[in-house]
Amino acid sequence: MSDGYLTGASRLRAILLVTKHDVYGMVMSNRMLIMGVVIAFFILGSCWAVTDPRFEGVGEFEAYDPIALLFLATAFALWPSTLGVVLFGFDAISRRRLTGELAIDLTQPMPRTDISLAHLLAVWITSLLPTFISFIGGILIIAYRVDAFPTIAELIVFFTATALLLWWYTCLQLLASSLARDLGSSVTLGVGTWLVFTTIWLLVSAVVATIVGVDVTDITSAEFDIVNEKVDLFSPNGVYQLLLETLLPGDAQPRLADAWIWLSAIAWSVLPMSLFVNRMHRIKP
């Protein structure tokens, strides 16, 4: 019997097998039964609504082509998906810690980095499944209603951005779950973070704009827009919206350079994950 950790393909296989087990457990849970329906309802409903001839757009933005309509739908549809990550992941670490299962996991001959990655992948894939399936349905609704499909390139960017957004929330939620010593604190940390980024981030933009001397009474002004986009780089939802805006027609494109947006996306993908993995190396079950 080897006395070291698994390496190479065997190591990757072990991570994926553990992920598969955890995904199965979450997919078969009552939580998925509820969240799956909610996510599908929101995404399919949003896609149906934004393609209604009576829909007048959001603010001054009106959409006619399929990817722009999909972009508009995400304004409503991403709420339950990101909340789904919080609800799937809030007890991924904290509950196992409370029940003693984490202690058993951590005494297995598997590096803690790999255990962390398996947890991340499991929650991420579990929340991706209903979201992606619903978005595929949403795209078919849009195609049916406007008789046009987004291009393959547009779909790749759209699904990549959506997957990244859920990854960022997964990392944040599992970090919260590993920090909390009880389920209540874990869900409070997760929902609190989610609320900040989904509902009150505009307030943060307004405060920053006020501090730098930009008029916040007109949020459609170019000056406010620039400040808003810069502040959005520090929010997962903001970066997600900026990524999708790169697909839109000229006047709806972000004012920031694409490089900044992708740099921020990379930072969001790496930093919370590193914090979580680091936390798992220090966690005391």
Partner 1 sequence: MLELSNVTYRHHDAMPKLTNPFYQRVGPGIKGISIQLAPKKILGLVGPNGTGKTTLMKVMAGLLPPEDGHLLIDGNPVIDENSMARLRHAVSFMPEQVGWPGPGTPRRVMSRLCAMRGEDNTNGLLMLDLVGLTQRANDDLSTLSQGMRQRLSLATALLGGPEVLLLDEPLNGLDPVAQAAFRGLLRQLASNGASIVVSSHNLNELARFVDEVCILHMGRIVSIGTITEVERFLGIPARLEAAGLGTNPSAALTAAIEGVSVSELTEEEGSDWHLEIALHEEEWDTGRRAEVATVISESGAKLSHLSVVNSDLEHILEAATGLSAEEAGFAILSTEEAT
Output the smallest distance, CB 174 to partner 1, in A.
18
Output the smallest distance, CB 69 to partner 1, in A.
38
Taking the CB of residue 22, how many other CB atoms lie within 10 A of it?
A: 18
Output the smallest distance, CB 171 to partner 1, in A.
21
Pairwise CA distance, residues 257 & 113, whole Å:
34
> Is 215 exposed, middle or buried (CB count within 10 Å of its CB: 0-12, 13-18, 19+)?
exposed
> Are 247 and 180 spatial neighbours (Cβ–Cβ below 8 Å)?
no
Position among 12, 29, 148, 253 found at the interface with partner 1 (CB under 8 A)? 29
Which runs of consecutive H residues, i.e. helices, occur in the chain? 8-27, 30-50, 66-89, 94-99, 101-106, 112-146, 152-179, 183-198, 201-211, 222-232, 236-245, 258-282
x-or-dash string of contact with partner 1, 112-131, rule CB under 8 A: ---x----------------
- Angle at CA 254, nearest 5°, toward 53 and 67? 35
Task: Determine if 200 is a binding residue for partner 1 (CB under 8 A).
Answer: no
x-or-dash string of contact with partner 1, 174-193, rule CB under 8 A: -------x------------
Task: Determine if 28 is a binding residue for partner 1 (CB under 8 A).
Answer: yes
Q: Which amino acid is at 120?
A: L
Pairwise CA distance, residues 261 & 79, whole Å:
21
Output the smallest distance, CB 117 to partner 1, in A.
12
| Interface segment toward partner 1; rule CB under 8 A; list 12-20, 37-45, 212-220, 247-255 | 12-20
| Interface segment toward partner 1; rule CB under 8 A; list 78-86, 102-110, 147-155, 218-226 | 102-110
Q: Which CB, 101 or 258, lies closer to partner 1?
A: 101
> Are 127 and 32 spatial neighbours (Cβ–Cβ below 8 Å)?
no
Q: What are the residues binding partner 1 (CB under 8 A)?
A: 1-6, 10, 13-14, 17-18, 21-22, 24-25, 28-29, 95, 98-101, 103-111, 115, 181, 284-285
